[in-house]
Chains A and B, each alone.
Chain A
Amino acid sequence: MERNPMRRQLAIMRQSLFDQGHVDEQFVQLEELQDDANPNFVEEVVTLYYRDSARIILNIEQALERKPFDFRKLDAYMHQFKGSSSSIGAKKVKAESTLFREYCKSGNGEGCMRSFQQLKKEYATLRKKLGAYFQLARQAGPVETASRPK
């Protein structure tokens, strides 16, 4: 049990990321790769994810403005986005990506639009929560070991 109040708050925040389904086991695996040689590894990977995601989201937005929809292209973009979301353990975003791809495969344009809006909401929420988490983590100092969520 963390005695330091900031570390306690960080632990609570971290646990809620899992409890609320924002991240999954893959996030723990990222944390386990973080060490003295790579002390900011998780944040670096997540930052790369944001950069990747911004590009892909823009591509999807532009593709959704063109009618008729090129479902193959949309699916290919979302395939990329799902891959990188899986890599950081972005559970809800990954789930929404899967749904979007199902709509692409069935040629359901309305479904794609709805799913994409939901995906952007989940992504924005994840960014906000991870942003707050990393900010507190920087203030709290290095955490010694990764631990599996309860």
Chain B
Amino acid sequence: MSGNGASSSSLNMISGEDVVNNNLTALVVDDSPLLRLLHDIHLKKYGLKVQVAENGKVAVDLFHLGASFDLVLMDKEMPVMNGVEATKELRAMGVTSMIVGVTSKDGPGEQQAFMEAGLDYCFEKPLTPEIISFLLEELNKHNNKD
């Protein structure tokens, strides 16, 4: 796992009830229908409103059309436009959403390249309840500061 200061010791083991939030929105970007469903249901359980996109281009197009999301779960390997490209484009557009890379177990060099594209965090898929709780806690902290 890598991220801006994220380490396993800083993960808060928060129950779903603690971070249920009806105001947060999320975009799940993954070419696998299975992973899209999994993350969709997982995030909805925490009260998020979720949309899905099957590749990076669909995700970027959504933002071009004016959509905004608090959280973007970005798969790395996708056809048409991969996660690295999509993340770079979104950041170049000025998107400030929390973008979390979701990868299969890659070498450290590959994850680093993904992080450098503009991710806030990068985790191995599928995301666990503990990681989702951590991300929502970080999102809530970030939103409370604004």
Contacts and interface: CB of A to CB of B under 8 A. Distances in A.
Contact of B34 (A26, A32, A35, A84): A84
Given A33-B45, A41-B41, A86 B125 contact: yes
A49 B34 contact: yes
A147 interface: no
Contact of A44 (B37, B42, B126, B129): B37
Given A29-B128, A52-B34, A79-B77, 15 more contacts: A26-B126, A29-B126, A30-B38, A41-B41, A45-B34, A48-B34, A49-B34, A52-B32, A76-B77, A79-B104, A83-B35, A84-B34, A86-B104, A87-B32, A87-B125
Interface majority SS (helix, strand, loop, mixed), chain A: helix
B5 interface: no
A107 B41 CA distance: 39
Interface in A88-131: 88
Interface of B: 32-35, 37-38, 41-42, 45, 77, 104, 125-126, 128-129
Interface residues of A, number: 23
Given A33-B41, A33-B45, A52 B33 contact: yes
A80 interface: yes
A22 interface: no
A23 to B, nearest CB: 14
Contact residues of B: prevailing secondary structure: helix
A69 B128 CA distance: 36
Contacts, number: 48
B32 A83 contact: yes
A83 B42 contact: no
Contact of B32 (A33, A35, A44, A80): A80
Given A41-B41, A83-B104, A86-B104, A29 B34 contact: no
Contacts of A145: none
B37 A48 contact: yes
A32 B16 CA distance: 11
A139 interface: no
B35 A87 contact: yes
Contact of A38 (B32, B35, B41, B126): B41
A45 B41 CA distance: 11
